[in-house]
Amino acid sequence: MSQHMLETGLNCALPCVAGLMASLVLETLLRPRPRPPWRRPGRANLIHAGLWSLGFAFELALFRRPWLAAAVVLSFVLLLVLVNDAKYQALREPFLFQDFEYFRDALHHPRLYIPFFGLWRTLVAAGLFLSALGVALRIEPPLAGGLPLYGGIAALVAAALGALWLGRGGSPALTFTPETDLRRLGLAAFLLDYARAERAPRVPPPSPFMPLSPRTGPRPHLVAIQSESFFDPRPLYPQVRRELLAHFDALKATARWQGRLRVPAWGANTVRTEFAFLSGLNPARLGVHRFNPYRRFAGGGVRTLATQLRESGYRTLCLHPYPADFYRRDQVYPALGFDEFIDIRGFAHSPRCGPYVCDRALAATVGRLLEAADGPLFILVITMENHGPLHLERPPAGEPGVLFRQTCPAGCEELGIYLRHLANADLMVADLMATLNGLDEPAWLCWFGDHVPILGRAYATLGAPDGRTDYALWRPQDPAARGRQPRDLAVEDLGALWLDEALRRG
């Protein structure tokens, strides 16, 4: 029995150790690249070894083939490396623990994810995994079951859990700057530490939104438009025609406030900007929850702009032409103060501009809601028309002359697609201004972009924006309009400024 156990242990030890070393080599392909193991905190190496050993033990128990077990776990590590590379290239941020739920979302909403991962990455990951599985099943005989094998697996699991227990503390505080934390800790400890941070007790910071004082006269309707990927590209790209955003220029020229907006997202992760606007909380105060506040933080209830307005007699609505369960909005919004959420089901018969509902269809819905209102409304609109991946669309023939003053360099076709949708967003501005001008009741419009678009090839050729978007606070015939004098803001300060202007100063 002892000889059998020794042979089984030796048969498993070499694949386990070799796979562990290979996983560290794969980490060198990450962007940003982590420090080598000898420059990391000791606990980070314990966590890496512990998680690797648990994965190896699980696959060994499943297949009873040690080399296959190592290959399967390495395939998963390679998948994380490839996903990280794709995300970092598109969004300038490494893969986080909070991103694991996007694997599920990719099955339900593949258009939003798979094109950014890339066909070649998908084929490489799938090909390597299937090849390793097929070769190992053919040439590696399974180990005999029984006490020698499963006793060894139990010992490996115990050792792995011990390593994770020893690595549970003693690390300097996380910075929640993902690039810094990944470089310092390596992939395994980086992911596990972010998971632990998310499960820490939730303590919401104090809200900047307090009950409003009584007001004489009618309360104005408040319409907020979070425009998908909206920013003004003309200062950055002189090739773009000035008249592309003529209506937005008119909005700014008669706005109470307008300017550049600092947002906590680049290219995606709309909910970061969305929650900052609604909550008024600086993302830095949310800790790890800044990366997706709707996962664990916001569902417990946070006082928001919508909460304050509902307490003041407003009916609060959100319009978003996409499935309600995306980002768990259907669960989170009632806790954030919304009376009603109109998702894609409310736009089943609305026209599409590309794959998504047209911006102007949303403006028409806002108009109908305002016309039918019997009291003050707060409406948050989250548009979808300009959502990527833009490279899957093709512009109509002859359109570049409408968008560009001069020929755009080769490889910048995505910019033309983006500008076409941006022109429709500008028409949405015109529709909303006309609607609010025609109302008998007072009304305000808050317009802002959630983040800049993903235009990788155009950025590489023409230069990239600094990440800020644009905003404007406007009401019809505003005697206090400040015109084109800009005031730059952080998005978490936008809601409080808007309420101060609309409900306190008037």
Write the DSSP string, 113-126: HHHHH-HHHHHHHH
Q: Which residues contact 496 (CB under 8 A, 6 or more apart)?
A: 208, 209, 280
Mean pLDDT, all residues of the chain: 90
**Distances in whole angstroms, Cα of residue 168 to Cα of each of 77, 79, 210:** 22, 26, 40
Domains and CATH numbers, the chain: 2-198 (no CATH), 221-505 (3.40.720.10)
Task: Give the residue with greater pLDDT, 392 vs 96.
Answer: 96
Task: Give the residue with greater pLDDT, 490 vs 301.
Answer: 490
As a whole number of angstroms, the distance between CA 293 and CA 141 comes to 48
As a whole number of angstroms, the distance between CA 279 and CA 113 comes to 27
pLDDT > 70? residue 332: yes
Give the distance, in angstroms, between the CA of residue 489 and the centroid of all CA atoms in the same chain: 21
Amino acid at 227: S
Half-sphere exposure (CA, 13 Å, Cβ side) for 28?
6
| 3-state DSSP assignment of residue 449 | strand
C-beta separation of 185 from 64 below 8 A: no
**In this structure, what token pair is assigned to residue 469?**
């978007």
User: Among the residues of 28-100, which ranges form H helices?
Assistant: 42-63, 66-91
pLDDT > 60? residue 425: yes
DSSP-assigned letter for residue 385: T
Section 69-96 average pLDDT:
92
Quick one: pLDDT band at residue 357, thresholds 50, 70, 90?
very high
pLDDT > 80? residue 473: yes
Burial 90-105 (b: 16+ CB within 10 A, else e): bbebbbbbbbeebeee
Q: What percent of the chain has pLDDT over 70?
A: 92
- Name the nearest CA neighbour of 88 among 37, 33, 22: 33
Could you check whether the bond before residue 32 is cis, i.e. omega within 30 degrees of 0? yes
Half-sphere exposure (CA, 13 Å, Cβ side) for 346?
19
Report the pLDDT value the prediction gives residue 384, as an integer from 0 to 100: 97
Report the pLDDT value the prediction gives residue 1, as an integer from 0 to 100: 46
Q: Please count the other Cβ atoms lying within 10 Å of the Cβ belonging to residue 350.
A: 17
pLDDT tens, 129-147?
777 677 767 788 888 877 7
**In angstroms, how far is the first alpha carbon of the chain from the final one?**
87
| 3-state DSSP assignment of residue 240 | strand
- Name the nearest CA neighbour of 229 among 276, 175, 267: 267
Q: Which residues contact 487 (CB under 8 A, 6 or more apart)?
A: 257, 258, 259
Lowest mean pLDDT among 144-153, 224-233, 263-272, 275-284: 144-153
As a whole number of angstroms, the distance between CA 159 and CA 262 comes to 47
- Name the nearest CA neighbour of 443 among 485, 492, 503, 384: 503
Q: Please count the other Cβ atoms lying within 10 Å of the Cβ belonging to residue 465.
A: 17
pLDDT tens, 148-196?
788 889 999 999 999 999 998 766 689 999 999 999 999 999 999 999 9
Beta strands of 211-369 (E only): which ranges? 221-227, 257-262, 315-319, 340-342, 352-353, 356-357
DSSP-assigned letter for residue 462: H
Lowest mean pLDDT among 206-220, 352-366, 412-426: 206-220
Tell if the pTM clears 0.75, that is, is over it. Answer: yes
Report the pLDDT value the prediction gives residue 289, as an integer from 0 to 100: 95
Quick one: pLDDT band at residue 96, thresholds 50, 70, 90?
very high
Burial 149-171 (b: 16+ CB within 10 A, else e): beebbeebbeebeebbeebeeeb
Lowest mean pLDDT among 145-159, 221-235, 331-345, 417-431: 145-159
Section 452-481 average pLDDT:
93
Q: Please count the other Cβ atoms lying within 10 Å of the Cβ belonging to residue 463.
A: 9
The burial class, CB within 10 Å (0-12 / 13-18 / 19+), for 372 is: exposed
C-beta separation of 70 from 56 below 8 A: yes
pLDDT > 80? residue 234: yes
As a whole number of angstroms, the distance between CA 407 and CA 402 comes to 11
The burial class, CB within 10 Å (0-12 / 13-18 / 19+), for 72 is: buried
Beta strands of 450-491 (E only): which ranges? 469-474, 489-490
pLDDT tens, 6-62?
666 677 889 999 999 999 999 999 999 999 999 999 999 999 999 999 999 999 999
C-beta separation of 308 from 210 below 8 A: yes
